[in-house]
A and B are shown apart, each in its own frame.
Chain A
Amino acid sequence: MKEELVAAWAQVLGVSIPEERLTEVMQSLEGQITGLGGLPAEELEEVEPAVLFEPEWLE
């Protein structure tokens, strides 16, 4: 990963990251992405993520 890429990505998303912070954010982002967010995709086939939408109206 490159700082320029992180800077461009942040700009597209409207996230303001000062230049002096780019290295830290890049390293952190790289660490998270390298960790794959948990288990590898092959072990997660057909698993529904733990994100629940409750359609009932509670009036």
Chain B
Amino acid sequence: MRNELWALSMVDAAALIAAREIKPSEYTAAALARFDAVEPLIRAFVSVDAERVTHEAKLQDDKRGGVLHGIPVAIKDIFDVTGTPTGCGSEAMASSRPAVQDATAVARLRAAGAIVFGKTTTHELACGVYTPPTRNPWDLERSPGGSSGGSGAAVAAGVVPGAIGSDTGGSIRIPASHCGLVGFKPTYGRISRNGALALSWSLDHVGTLTRTVEDAALMLSVLAGPDSNDQTTLARTYLPQPLLPANDHVRGLRIGVLDDPPFAPMEADVKQGLTTTLKRLQREGVEILEVKLPELKACLTAEFVIVAAEAGSYHESRMKRAADLVGADVRGLLETGLLLPASLYLRAQKTRRVIQLALMKLFADERLDALIAPTVPAKAQRWDQLDYEFADGTEPVIQALVRTTAPFNLAGLPAIAVPAGIGASGFPVSVQVAARPFDEQTALRIALAIQRATGRIQGPNVFATARDN
């Protein structure tokens, strides 16, 4: 087993460490060995300080700690980690000084005993769906998605069992779908954004990428909670404990299916994955309802206007100082955002309110516990791929990937992406479950039922992928 410690889930590894069957230093050494083996292929990390990681793990060997005692975790390079620059994937931030304080999410992971393994790549300024130079472990010629692509690739390739990322319009769930992982964006305000680069204040969510639903629940239980440095986290409903009760079942839950636009069109594999998942849930006693939400027709436009305006404002001084150092795709968005009229931004925020109210009404009228939809409509894009081909035409990649994820950023609902199997094309497909605000527990329970019924998908064989390419 020692050779395959890296393949353990976070929950299993934590249990073995707590039982003193393995030491944090052994587990971390396995992670470092895995890193050495796969990192040249996937290029998921910005920095890993192997000496520090080894030292911290050894210090933990003879101690007892929190629920993540001795567990290595990866941090998207938009979160401050003491002593490390926060580069945000941008030349414009390459000269950043080392952070003097951990982001709140990082501090909470450490307080629970986790070891910061390293910082992962992000699409520049957390704004994009490709995350160069990182490769998808399922096919090195494809993108892991983004913007939390490094976190996705690192977890999928088995370097670490979990990572944190951010999700403004799908930036956790897109890599989760592309890499065959569980990606969890809890409710807006559930996890502090303090110490993380903003893309769009009102849409940014902090969340996790893991290989199992149980691991997502474990990480959430550590990360959630009020933080005086992020006002949106204050006075919120506490998470129930345990988040995933033993012998839980989903019988009697009512789930609405969203498969009209903007969730359609979708590739055949994705449609098949969704259909199969619905049948599996029905067998578990879940009541499935076809629902319509025509208000979502405007979600993508509203999302892009809000992101452009808020990101433009956030980076305004940086654009004056160092616009030439920002990549063309992100630069265009920031420049556009700085020129948008206020009326357009406010109209987008009104549209957002309409979408939020429509979702609330839908949950109430249909007595829904959750919604289910494809996470993204297509498999991971190739590096040079700009458009997806659907039955009724082509669509830019960024538009296709964000149209299915953005509705739950706009509404701030908890949404979890969970693998629904491997499609006929050989790539993972994913569905997302969204629940009422601050009802992460229901989203997790349904995701667990899907994972149980689907079976944990076998991770990618990175080395075989490299040979094939």
Contacts and interface: CB of A to CB of B under 8 A. Distances in A.
Interface of A: 6, 9-10, 13-17, 21, 24-25, 28-29, 32-33, 35-39, 41, 43-44, 47-51, 54, 58
24 contacts: A6-B339, A10-B335, A15-B319, A15-B335, A15-B339, A17-B335, A25-B335, A29-B336, A32-B301, A33-B340, A33-B341, A33-B344, A37-B305, A37-B345, A37-B346, A37-B347, A37-B348, A38-B298, A44-B350, A47-B354, A48-B353, A49-B350, A49-B352, A51-B349
A39 to B, nearest CB: 5
Interface of B: 202, 228, 231, 234, 295, 298-299, 301-302, 304-305, 308, 319-320, 323, 328, 331-333, 335-336, 338-341, 343-354, 356
Contacts of B302: 37-39
A49 B346 contact: yes
Nearest to A51: B349
B109 to A, nearest CB: 25
A24 B295 CA distance: 30
Contact of B305 (A10, A17, A21, A32): A32
B322 to A, nearest CB: 11
A18 to B, nearest CB: 8
Given A16-B320, A17-B335, A38 B305 contact: yes
Contacts of B328: 24
Contacts of A36: 301, 344, 347
A54 B231 contact: yes
Contacts of A33: 340-341, 344
Contacts of A43: 354
B235 to A, nearest CB: 10
Contact of B346 (A10, A14, A51): A51
B339 A37 contact: no
B323 A13 contact: no
A39 B346 CA distance: 11
A37 B354 contact: no
B338 A49 contact: no
Q: Which of B308, B323, B351 has the most CB of A within 10 A?
A: B351
Residue in A9, A24, A36, A50 whose Cβ sees the most chain B Cβ within 10 Å: A50
A15 B325 CA distance: 15
Given A49-B349, A51-B349, A58-B231, A37 B344 contact: yes
Contacts of A14: 320
A13 B334 CA distance: 14
Contacts of B304: 32, 35
Closest 3 CB pairs of A and B: A38-B351, A49-B349, A37-B347
A58 B299 CA distance: 33
A37 B349 CA distance: 8
B340 A50 contact: no
A38 B301 contact: yes
B164 to A, nearest CB: 25
Contact of B336 (A28, A39, A41, A50): A28
B353 A13 contact: no
A36 B300 CA distance: 11
B33 to A, nearest CB: 45
A5 B142 CA distance: 39
Given A13-B338, A33-B340, A41-B347, 16 more contacts: A15-B335, A16-B319, A21-B331, A28-B332, A29-B340, A33-B341, A35-B305, A37-B345, A38-B350, A38-B351, A38-B352, A38-B354, A44-B347, A44-B350, A50-B350, A51-B346
A55 B301 CA distance: 30
